[in-house]
Structure 1
Amino acid sequence: MGSSREEMTVIDRPKISVIMSVYNGEAHLTDSIASILDQTFADFEFIIVNDCSTDNSPEIIRSFRDDRIRVINNEKNIGLTKSLNRALKVARAEYIARQDADDISLPDRFKQQLEYMEDHQEVALLGTSIFVIGNDGEILEKRIAAPDPGKTLLRGNRFCHGSVMIRREVLDKTGHYNELFKYSQDYELWLRISKHH
């Protein structure tokens, strides 16, 4: 059987593709990866793009022995936007979940997001509330997710990029991250999605 998304059967395809780009993220990377692998919903692939890190990030990634992890090693540093697009090109699942190298996901994150997305077919993009945590582990701030962020999206980005879940079919129609954007690539994508949903 071929490896393209179109040729895969539903049985072969994971439900969620988690995408992460890492550039010199050793400080929090172990905890970040572990928080994904410890999810109560386990039917996912975890695509990690090493964006030519010069710290111990590659060794940390290799230390995890889990068949769900797929690693892409960039030959040179190309930045977050292009790295995420590389991950999206090989992602096989119906849903795309984001995680940054300094993010920690609570164990039920995927379970709760997936249940919501399955129950609300009209939702294209789903965010979460977040805790901002300092280097010492202290909670500095809690940001509550807006109940209907689409209505206020033009006034500012209401989604934490590292906690969103997106329907794959939405990205296939809208397009991936715009590589002209080094920053705010997430916000630009959300605005494009909001035009159609």
Structure 2
Amino acid sequence: MELKKYVEKYLNDERVIYHKVLHGGISRALNAGISLVTAEYIARQDSDDEWMPWHLDFLLNELEQNDKLDIIGSKVDADRNKLQGGIKRNNFNNLSGEELWFKLAYKNMFNHSTVIYKKSAVEEAGGYDPECDGFEDWHLWACMVTKDNALVMNTLTAYYGLPEEDNKGMIFRSRLAKSRGLRLEDVLE
């Protein structure tokens, strides 16, 4: 389905702008979108991802309480059923500071569908690099994150929709993990 048909019902909302960009890769499209943003913060989401109703309030509250933060994210799960219920917050296992900065060199610690960042920080980092399509988010986070400006909260706030072939792979990985006495989350980390 063409995107315009999907968003037409939102076009009466003055906060929504529809801007068609010729296909030139995900990074160019994201940079075009960022250039149109007039707000201080940007939250990114794919059409097959779902946020818990309190996702934005929860992360924005944390972001606004700490002036040093430029980027914040949370946990995500591929199991839609885990989105039921209230906040299951665990402050003791949040990832930030030097530990996050170090781990980011080896693994993408943020899931793009949970991230909220300051527009100014993205612009200062140079935006998305078109040469990095495929790992554009990870590259941007690595350019943005210093030792004290980022936080990944250990709180599940989103469901990450997987294409059918990835979902089958996740089911296999989940069964394999269980057969070895592990949780899928442990295998994926």
- Work out whether the TM-score is over 0.5: yes
Structure 2 Cα separation of the partners of residues 150 and 195 of structure 1: 6
What is the SS of the residue equivalent to 1:86? helix
| Counterpart residue number, 2:157 | none
State whether residues 4 and 18 of structure 2, in contact with CA within 8 Å, keep that contact through their aligned partners in structure 1.
Answer: no
What are the within-5 Å matches in structure 2 for residues 117-132 of structure 1? 117-132=63-78
For the pair shown, the structure with the greater C-alpha radius of gyration is: 2
Residues 12-49 of structure 1: CA deviation (Å, up to 9, x unaligned): xxxxxxxxxxxxxxxxxxxxxxxxxxxxxxxxxxxxxx
Q: Is the 8 A contact 1:146 1:158 kept in 2?
A: no
User: Match of 1:157?
Assistant: 108
1:190 aligns with 2:138: no
Larger % of strand: which?
1
User: CA–CA distance in 2 between the matches of 1:176 and 1:57?
Assistant: 23
Q: CA deviation at 1:86?
A: 0.3
Residue by residue, what CA displacement relative to the aligned partner does 1:62-121 show, whole Å, maximum 9, x if unpaired?
A: 1334332111112x3222111100001111111111111211111111111111011111
Match of 2:118 among 167, 172, 188: 167
Post-superposition offset of 1:179 = 1.3
Cα separation, 1, equivalents of 2:81 and 2:116: 26
- Inter-partner Cα distance in structure 1 for 2:145 and 2:3: 35
The structure whose residues are more often helix, as a share, is 2
Letter in 1 for 2:110: F
1:127–1:163 contact (8 Å) kept in structure 2: yes
What is residue 36 of structure 2 aligned with on the other side? 90
Rounded to whole Å, the distance in 2 between the matches of 1:154 and 1:146 is 18
Aligned pairs, number: 136
1:192/1:116 Cα in 2 relative to 1: closer, same or farther (>3 Å)?
Answer: same
**One-letter amino acid matched to 1:171:** V
| RMSD of aligned Cα (Å) | 2.3
For residue 147 of structure 1, what is the amino acid of its counterpart?
L
Shift in Å, 1:194: 2.1
Q: Secondary structure at the match of 1:96?
A: strand
Given that 2:34 and 2:119 are in contact with CA atoms closer than 8 Å, whether structure 1 keeps it comes out as no
Asked whether 1:63 is paired with 2:13, we answer no
Q: Residue 50 of structure 2 aligns with which residue?
A: 104
- 1:20 alignment counterpart: none
Alpha-carbon separation, structure 2, partners of 1:98 and 1:90: 14
Q: Say whether residues 1:180 and 2:127 are aligned partners.
A: no
Deviates more, 1:91-100 or 1:167-176: 167-176
How many angstroms does 1:172 deviate by?
2.7
Percent identity reads: 21
Q: For residues 105-156 of structure 1, what are the alpha-carbon distances to aligned partners after superposition, in whole Å with 9 as ceiling and x for unaligned?
A: 11111111111011111122101111214xxx556xxxx9852233411120
Specify the alignment match of 2:158 in structure 1: none
Q: Which residue of 1 aligns with 2:95?
A: 147
- RCO comparison, higher one (Cα < 8 Å, 6+): 2
